[in-house]
Amino acid sequence: MSLPEPRANPELFGHAEAERMMAEALRAGRLHHAWLITGPPGIGKATLAFRFARRLLLGMPDGNSLALPPDNPVFRRVANASHADMLTIERAWDDKKKRRRGEIIIDDVRKIAGFLRLTPAEGGWRVVVVDGAETLNRNAANALLKVLEEPPPRAILLLVASSAGGLPPTIMSRCRHLRLAPLDAASMDAALQRLLPELDADQRGRLAALSDGAPGRALQLAGDNGLGASELVDQVLAAGPRIDVLKAHAVADALGRHEDAFSTFMTLLRAAIAAAVRDAARGQADPDQARMLGHRSLDAWVDIWQSLGRLQDDTEGAYLDKRQAIVTGLGLLSGQ
């Protein structure tokens, strides 16, 4: 199962307290003109932002839920990006590279000022969602700051960011900040039972651990054979410096059977190394992590982690041979 885009997603897993705070602010008329919603990727930030936006456009909620049914006219218009009082700003699509741009540029943000100068078409609020606000480049961030400094009446801006640290302090200081935490084990298991009913309890538990309490990330991993890639990561790290060329090629062959397996494998491999180094630095490494780290210094493992990141970025950015990149990356682990 895959989730709809956040603008068309009727379900929000977890984050009941954040939703309650938003509903309460709306009922009490204490609406800040700008909200910053942060949290790890795949946790539901944009889903919550669009959930709030739909309710703002429709009217007062009865209780603590901001949910609207998918057959509601406001829901349908927001899902179709056809509501006259709503604007979404995000990284634009690059037709040449067939992917989204790496940043939000000033031309995108300039649309906000013109949009907010208009009178609400339906007499209520005008709502802007900036999805991926941490990718604003400097000029775009400055343009957004001008809007935040002089907000028009009956206008709400909802900024969604995976990392608040990527935003200028001047923007953060003008927003009400909601930090979304990873789902707890019970909430995550309930979400995965709903989203991936074909998985057994053990598979759900492994997927929840890999995704760090983020349902969207769990779905992505499930679709990219994340459980299989995780098993390969475990095998590679258990072998430690004993990974020979034949084993490295066997891993590369196994990953080559799935289109997105390279990115998933490399991301999980780097995450496992980072966790082991972090736990060892705190004196909390478990026996498996200690065996993996071996006699190498933690600084050496940090260098390997960084080298794997550069290798992944170079391979994906320049469309290099992913099979060879896997072999090269595993060579770093074995000191070759």
pLDDT digits (tens, 9 = 90+) for 163-212: 888 899 999 999 999 999 999 999 999 999 999 999 999 999 999 999 99
| pLDDT per position as a tens digit, 204-236 | 999 999 999 999 999 989 888 889 999 999 988
Cα-to-chain-centroid distance, residue 312? 18
Among 311, 223, 313, residue whose Cα is nearest residue 259: 223
Q: Which helix (H) or strand (E) holds 88?
A: strand 86-89
What is the model's pLDDT at position 265? Answer: 93
Q: Structure pTM?
A: 0.85
What is the model's pLDDT at position 93? Answer: 77
CATH (residue range 6-179): 3.40.50.300
DSSP assigned state of 179: E
| pLDDT per position as a tens digit, 100-137 | 778 999 999 999 999 998 888 887 899 999 999 999 99
Report whether 65 contacts 130 (CB < 8 A): no
What is the model's pLDDT at position 194? Answer: 92
Percent of the chain exceeding pLDDT 90 equals 67
What is the model's pLDDT at position 1? Answer: 59
Q: Do domains 6-179 and 224-334 have the same CATH topology?
A: no
DSSP assigned state of 256: T
The residue ranges of every structural domain in the chain are 6-179, 224-334
Is residue 243 pLDDT above 80, yes or no?
A: no
Cα–Cα distance, 36 to 130 (Å, whole number): 9
Is residue 336 pLDDT above 60, yes or no?
A: no
What is the model's pLDDT at position 329? Answer: 92
Helix runs in the chain, H state only: 16-28, 45-58, 73-79, 106-117, 138-149, 169-172, 185-195, 201-211, 215-223, 226-239, 245-255, 261-281, 287-293, 298-317, 322-334
Q: Which residue reads 């320049």 in tokens? A: 318
What is the model's pLDDT at position 98? Answer: 67
| pLDDT per position as a tens digit, 245-289 | 788 888 988 888 777 889 999 999 999 999 999 999 999 989 888
Q: Which CATH number fits domain 224-334: 1.20.1330, 1.20.272, 1.10.510, 3.30.160?
A: 1.20.272
What is the model's pLDDT at position 30? Answer: 80
Cα–Cα distance, 90 to 140 (Å, whole number): 11
Is residue 96 pLDDT above 80, yes or no?
A: no
What is the model's pLDDT at position 78? Answer: 96
Among 307, 312, 272, residue whose Cα is nearest residue 293: 272
